[in-house]
Chains A and B, each alone.
Chain A
Amino acid sequence: MPLTPLQTYFPIGLVLLVGSGLALVLLLLANVLGPRRPNAAKMSPFECGSVPVGSARDRFGVKFYVVALLFIVFDIEAVFLFPWAVLSTELGWAGYVEMLIFVATLVVGLAYVWKKGVLDWAE
C-alpha cells in the first residue's frame, strides 16, 4: 500500500516537533531556573570576547549582498541539477549534453564575475 504524504513525512514532522520542542523547553528552563545577576560587562554586546568597537547598528557592506547574490544563482543551479542527477543513467548522453549546456551557460557567468574581480573580498 502506497504511503500517503502524511505518512511519508512523519519522520520530518517528528524531527521538527522534537527540535522546536527542545529549543522551547531549554529556553524556558533557562529563563525559569537561571539566576540573573547583570553587570556592565555582561550586558555589553558580545563581540567574540574582544572589547566592542563602534556601533552595532552600522549598515552592512554591499559586498555581503553580492555574495548572497552569487549564492542564490548557484543555489538554483544546484536545484536544477537535482532532478537530472536522480535520472542520469536513464537519460543517457542526451541528458548529459543538455545538462552540460545548462552548466556551461552558468560557467560563463562565473567567469564574468571572476574576471570583474567580484570574487576578491579584499581590494
Chain B
Amino acid sequence: MVPVQWYLLLAAVLFGVGLVGVLIKRNALIVMMCIELMLNAANLTFLAFARQQGNIGGHAIAFFVIAVAAAEAAVGLAIVIAIYRTTGSVNVDDVRELREEG
C-alpha cells in the first residue's frame, strides 16, 4: 500500500504546476485548465486523508468539488467565449475594463 505521504507529494506537485500555469499563461482557457488541475490536487489530498482516516466525509467533499468545478467551468468558459466574441482576444491581460466598448 502506498503511504499517504506520496499522495500528498503528488498533490503538492500537481498544485504547484497548476499555480505556475495560472501565473505564466495569458490564455484564459489555459488558466481555466490549470485551475482544474489545482482542484484535482485538492481532491487528491481529500481522498488520501479520507482513506487514511477511514472517513467518508472526504469523499463527499471531493464529490462536491467535482460538481462545483464543472459548474464553474461551464460559466467560466461561457464568459471566455463571450469576451472573445466582443474583443476578439482570449488574453487575460487584454480584459481590463468592465465598461462596454464605445
Q: Which residues of A contact B (CB under 8 A)?
A: 62, 65, 69, 72-73, 75-76, 79-80
Q: Tell whether, in the assembled complex, residue A65 and residue B78 are in contact, meaning their CB atoms are under 8 Å apart.
A: yes
Question: Is chain B's interface secondary structure helix, strand, loop, or mixed overall?
Answer: helix
Known contacts A76-B67, A80-B67; decide if A69 and B81 are in contact (CB<8 Å).
Answer: no
Scan residues 68-83 of chain B and give those whose CB is less than 8 A from a CB of chain A.
70-71, 73-74, 77-78, 81
Q: Tell whether, in the assembled complex, residue B67 and residue A65 are in contact, meaning their CB atoms are under 8 Å apart.
A: no
A residues within 8 A CB of B73? 72
- Complex: A69 Cα to B71 Cα, angstroms: 9
Q: Tell whether, in the assembled complex, residue B81 and residue A72 are in contact, meaning their CB atoms are under 8 Å apart.
A: no
Chain B, interface residues (CB within 8 Å), range: under 10
- Complex: A76 Cα to B71 Cα, angstroms: 9
Q: Tell whether, in the assembled complex, residue B70 and residue A72 are in contact, meaning their CB atoms are under 8 Å apart.
A: yes
Q: Tell whether, in the assembled complex, residue B70 and residue A65 are in contact, meaning their CB atoms are under 8 Å apart.
A: no
Q: Which residues of B contact A (CB under 8 A)?
A: 67, 70-71, 73-74, 77-78, 81, 85
A121 to chain B, nearest CB (A): 18
Q: Kindly identify which residue among B67, B71, B74, B81 contacts A62, using a CB–CB cutoff of 8 Å.
A: B81
A residues within 8 A CB of B70? 72, 75-76
- Complex: A79 Cα to B77 Cα, angstroms: 22
Q: Tell whether, in the assembled complex, residue B78 and residue A69 are in contact, meaning their CB atoms are under 8 Å apart.
A: yes
- Complex: A90 Cα to B67 Cα, angstroms: 25
Q: Tell whether, in the assembled complex, residue B67 and residue A72 are in contact, meaning their CB atoms are under 8 Å apart.
A: no
